[in-house]
Structure 1
Amino acid sequence: MSIVSSVAPRSGRTTELILLLGAVGIVGLAYVNLGLATTGTLPPGLAAVGVGYLAVSLAFHVVLRWKAKYADPLILPIVTLLNGLGLVMIHRVDIARGREIADGVALRQLMWSALAVAIATAVLFALRDHRLLRRYTWIAGVAGFALLLLPLMPIIGNSEYGSRIWIRVGPLSFQPGEVAKLLLAVFFAGYLVQTRDALSVAGRKILGLTLPRARDLGPILIAWLASLSVLVFERDLGSSLLFFGLFVAMLYIATERVSWIAIGLALFVAGAYLAYLTFGHVQTRVLLWLDTFSPEALHTSDQLAKGLMGMAAGGMIGTGIGRGRPDLTYLAESDFIVPSFGEELGMIGLFAILALYALLVERGLRTSLGTRDGFGKLLAAGLSFSLALQCFVVVGGVTRVIPLTGLTMPFLSAGGSSLLANWTLVALLLRISDHARRPVPDAQQASAVGEAHTQVVRLS
């Protein structure tokens, strides 16, 4: 017999407000420290930037009080702190490269941040119940795959740094794969909720591992072929790994069968080896991974070597914000922003940032556990895992744990596409957590209590 409490849980909005003010304060101190270290004076526009960032953060907090009162109180402060620290480091690289504020990457990133928060706010207003997304399962799937293939279009498709993952319309460029991961997470969640009973049916047992039936292998084979297609035609190792890993993880969560993980790993190893034998750009990345400081690798690209040397120069406590040379590494404000933080904040500071990501993923998984519907559980878990996998791939690439993939660090790296997609991901997690933590309505409470009382009477 379950007991339904009539005591409403705390919303956590006051806790969120206190943590949010602390997060904005830390970002402000980092910005002041950067100005003092580079010019010996307070940075220009300190009041305007600080007040503006605080106003945007508080506006989103007010929206949560109004539209998602019981949303998780830790998610917004964590994301605000990460986004703000990313802005500071991007501005630091701008200073090192002699860029003016008006022409710098940091100003564009600040504008993208404001737009991303506005879109996240619109999601909270438009989506009052995450379960409505289940109606659009197949639409989300078709749209997600279409976005993945959009860079292959002959007119708008654009190739940069060897990967064809961008579309360009006039002066504007966009990476549709960032949005595709959200749509595919919705599609996977809706599809697996419908089919998980069939996919959970046990087949033969080999080497102590219960494998699924042969007829049920179709979905994972299709996902494997689709991820290989992204790797082959777009030369995008990161999106290919993220897409296939997301599907395998959500498949395991839906069925709770370890055999799907084993099959997924086997297919991934086979696909990676096939790509290594077939494509020269994959062989180049493997060379940079295994023999970074060899003459052949350095002649090809010394980006990874410079990133590693920058982190080595930072040591345990770092050189201090504004006192390193992260600008010596190519793409220090985007793909290699993690080594930039490692150099100036040291291993301790970098571990603190990674702890923030770990806590953010933990809150997402906690939301998944607390959600009362299967679709919400899978969607929250999938969104959280995609965030965790992207962080692992980025940090693993710049530290030589795995080959470089070209993905960007969520919220930290420069890039409007990534900010828009990840703030939308946060809005979805907040909406699901609001549903998970919201108390049962009074009418449902009365009904549940009445049913429990009837069961007790019958038992007695």
Structure 2
Amino acid sequence: MTTATDGKPTTDTTVMKALRRLRVPQTQRNRELGLLVFALVIVAGAVALVELGTSGTLNPQIFYYAGIPAALAISLHIVLRLRARAADPFVLPIATLLTGLGIAEIYRLDIANDRLGWDAFSARQLVWAAIATAGALAIVLLLRNYRVLFRYTYVFGFAGIALLMLPFIPGLGLAGANASVWISVGGLFQFQPGELGKIALAIFFAGYLVRTRESLTSVGTRFLWMTWPRARELGPLLVIWFISLGIIVLQRDLGTGLLIFGMFVAMLYVATGKTSWVVIGVTLAVAGAVLASQVLTYVGWRFANWLNAFDTEIIDRVGGSFQLVQGIFGLAQGGLIGTGLGQGRPYLTPVAESDYIFPSLGEELGLVGVFAILALYMVFASRGIRIGVAGQDDFGKLLAVGLSFTIALQVFIMVGGVTRLIPLTGLTTPFLAAGGSSLIANWLIVAILLRISDAVRSRPRVVIG
């Protein structure tokens, strides 16, 4: 306690508050390190259990599958300590744990299918994980102020559309694929540009909605129980709806169309706070799905596989529900606590390492493990939404909420599809499934969320728009 010039006693509250602000970033990084070590121990244990469950011994190869994810995660943690000390401490450990569990299960499937060496899916996933982490490191290092993205709103919009259109360029599109969403670069590797396109479109949606929020929240016409927007305000929603339908029709990709439209509707609701946009968006989505099921043959087949999955004719036909039924049986086999890593038979399900990685984990980890994985996704999405809500910058708020909702919606669509809650689409389970383009996109989302959270916690709040 000190005495002011007027004789009144005062406390050094200003100094104490400054010291507390200095300690907060260090506390966040220490908390992240503790959670990260815990996540890496679980990953190492999962890889070891896979080896013990399949062969009864520990192969030296487990050091690659446990050590490489650890090195990648620690590298990103060190960069955060130096360049983003106030970033959210939960995002990186959760992404690391999910990625590590996915690699462990893919490795287990490789052992069952006798796919070993650097041609195995798990080895490729390690390489993609390294590339994805390098991309996240680049974002954290180079994107010092995420608000610069706001200046290039329409550039990202055109880039997102261009990425979606790349598979139609002669020589780039992958021939023979079920959906026109893949490109092949020089025949060396395959990539799905739409995964990066959804990030570019999320940036565009955030910037566009900040610029047009006033007109979108203007008074409309009161009808029945809600206020309907004016016709000219409906324009952007209808344009995005038609683009989503175009993706479904031209690319035969039901999942990406639903994901992009759902992301826009969610960001539109956050920007305006009007429930009417959600009602209109859900109505358009249902109408589009019904229309597509009646007009497009492959969408109609997906609905038939969903509604009549256990019919013998549906199971036996080409492109039928055999994969779906096998995945459901695998989940049922897992029961409450699972068969144990390396001791189930997830390899009986076609493409188990990619489309059906979630049922594979459900069979060997059981209902308890499935709930734990879903809880990780829930915490990840809630932290991302909290990052957006905590700031007063409208662009950062919309971008963080939009990216977090994209992850949550993708999990719902994929998990709902493999459990027969909704028709199955062509999306992948974030972080878990084998696939380089999806893994890179998800880790770029992690980096952007970390950058936004660091700005929210450590910088003065600025309102854009």
TM-score by length of 1: 0.93
Deviates more, 1:144-153 or 1:314-323: 144-153
Q: Do structure 1's residue 64 and structure 2's residue 80 form an aligned pair?
A: yes
Partner secondary structure for residue 71 of structure 1:
coil
Query: Pick from 214, 232, 243: which aligns with 1:226?
Result: 243
Secondary structure at 2:24 match in 1: coil
**Whole-angstrom distance in 2 between the partners of 1:43 and 1:23:** 21
Which has the larger displacement, 432-441 or 356-365? 432-441
- In the other structure, the counterpart of 2:409 is 389
CA distance in 2, matches of 1:100, 1:384: 35
**Is residue 24 of structure 2 the alignment partner of residue 10 of structure 1?**
yes
1:156 is aligned to 172
Aligned positions, number: 440
1:288 and 2:305 are equivalent in the alignment: yes
Distance 1:184 1:399 in 2: 29
Other structure's SS at 1:31 match: helix
CA distance in 1, matches of 2:459, 2:153: 27
Cα displacement string for residues 188-233 of structure 1 (whole angstroms, at most 9, x for unaligned residues):
0000000011000121111111111111110000000000000000
Partner of 1:337: 357
Query: Would the aligned equivalents of 1:31 and 1:43 in 2 still touch at CA under 8 Å?
Result: no
Distance 1:372 1:256 in 2: 15
CA RMSD of aligned residues (A): 1.5
CA distance in 1, matches of 2:176, 2:422: 22
- 368-377 or 177-186, larger mean C-alpha shift: 368-377
AA at the equivalent of 1:105: F
Aligned equivalents of 1:121, 1:340: Cα separation in 2: 31
| SS of residue paired to 1:205 | strand
Confirm or deny: 8 A CA contact 2:106 2:122 kept in the other structure: yes
Distance 2:286 2:130 in 1: 40
Instruction: Report what 2:5 is aligned to.
Output: none
Partner letter of residue 24 of structure 2? R
Which letter maps to 2:124? R
For residue 195 of structure 1, what is the amino acid of its counterpart? T
Deviation at 1:49, TM superposition (A): 3.9
Q: State the Cα distance separating 1:156 from its structure 2 match.
A: 1.2
CA distance in 2, matches of 1:341, 1:240: 27
**Amino acid of the structure 2 residue aligned with 1:243:** I
User: What is aligned with 2:189?
Assistant: 172
Hey, what does 1:455 align to over in structure 2? none
Contact between 1:159 and 1:165, CA under 8 Å: does it hold in 2?
no
Give the SS at the match of 2:392: coil
**Which range moved further: 151-160 or 23-32?**
151-160
Instruction: Kindly provide the CA deviation profile for residues 130-187 of structure 1, in whole angstroms up to 9, marking residues without a partner as x.
Output: 1010011000000001111111223211255521110112121100110001000000
Q: Is the 8 A contact 2:65 2:104 kept in 1?
A: no
Correspondence for 2:455:
435
Which residue of 106, 118, 123 corresponds with 2:139? Answer: 123
Partners of 2:222 and 2:228 within 8 A in 1: yes
Match of 2:369 among 349, 361, 366: 349
- The aligned amino acid for 1:65 is R
Aligned to 1:456: none
Partners of 1:153 and 1:266 lie apart in 2 by 34
Instruction: Give distance in 2, aligned partners of 1:50 and 1:398.
Output: 28
Residue by residue over 1:380-420, the C-alpha shift from the partner in whole angstroms, topping out at 9 and shown as x without a partner, is 00000001000000000001111010100111000000011
Counterpart amino acid of 1:368? G
- Structure 1 counterpart of 2:130, which letter? A
Q: Which residue of 2 aligns with 1:209?
A: 226
2:262 aligned residue (208, 228, 245):
245
Q: Does 1:317 find its partner at 2:337? A: yes
For 2:290 and 2:62, locate their aligned partners in 1 and report how far apart those are by CA, in whole Å: 51
Q: Which residue of 1 aligns with 2:7?
A: none
Aligned equivalents of 2:361 and 2:63: distance in 1? 24
1:44 Cα offset (Å): 2.6
Q: Is the Cα–Cα contact under 8 Å of residues 47 and 66 in structure 2 kept in the other structure?
A: no
Question: What is the deviation of 1:10?
Answer: 1.1
Counterpart position of 1:29: 45
1:379 paired to 2:396: no
Contact persistence 1:394–1:408 (CA under 8 A): yes
1:127 is aligned with what amino acid?
L
Percent sequence identity over aligned pairs: 51
Cα gap change, 1:96 to 1:282, in 2 (>3 Å): same
The residue number in structure 1 matching 2:156 is: 140
**1:109 alignment partner in structure 2:** 125
**Which letter does structure 1 place at the counterpart of 2:132?**
A
| Secondary structure at the counterpart of residue 182 of structure 2 | strand
Q: Give 2:4's aligned residue.
A: none
Q: Which amino acid aligns with 1:261?
A: V
Match of 2:10 in 1: none
How has the CA–CA distance of structure 1 residues 164 and 388 changed in structure 2, closer, same or farther, with 3 Å as cutoff?
Answer: same
Q: Is the 8 Å Cα contact of residues 34 and 43 (structure 1) preserved in structure 2? A: no
> Any unmatched runs of 5+ in structure 2?
1-12
SS of 1:376's partner is helix
Offset of 1:311 from its aligned partner?
Answer: 0.5
Aligned partner letter, 2:385: L
Distance 2:302 2:106 in 1: 26
- Contact persistence 2:68–2:126 (CA under 8 A): no
User: What does the per-residue CA deviation read over 1:52-95, in whole Å, with 9 as the maximum and x for residues that have no partner?
Assistant: 33222111100000111000001111111000000000000101
Q: 1:164 to 1:370 in 2, by over 3 A?
A: same
| Cα deviation 1:324-350 (Å, max 9, x = unaligned) | 111110110001000001100011101
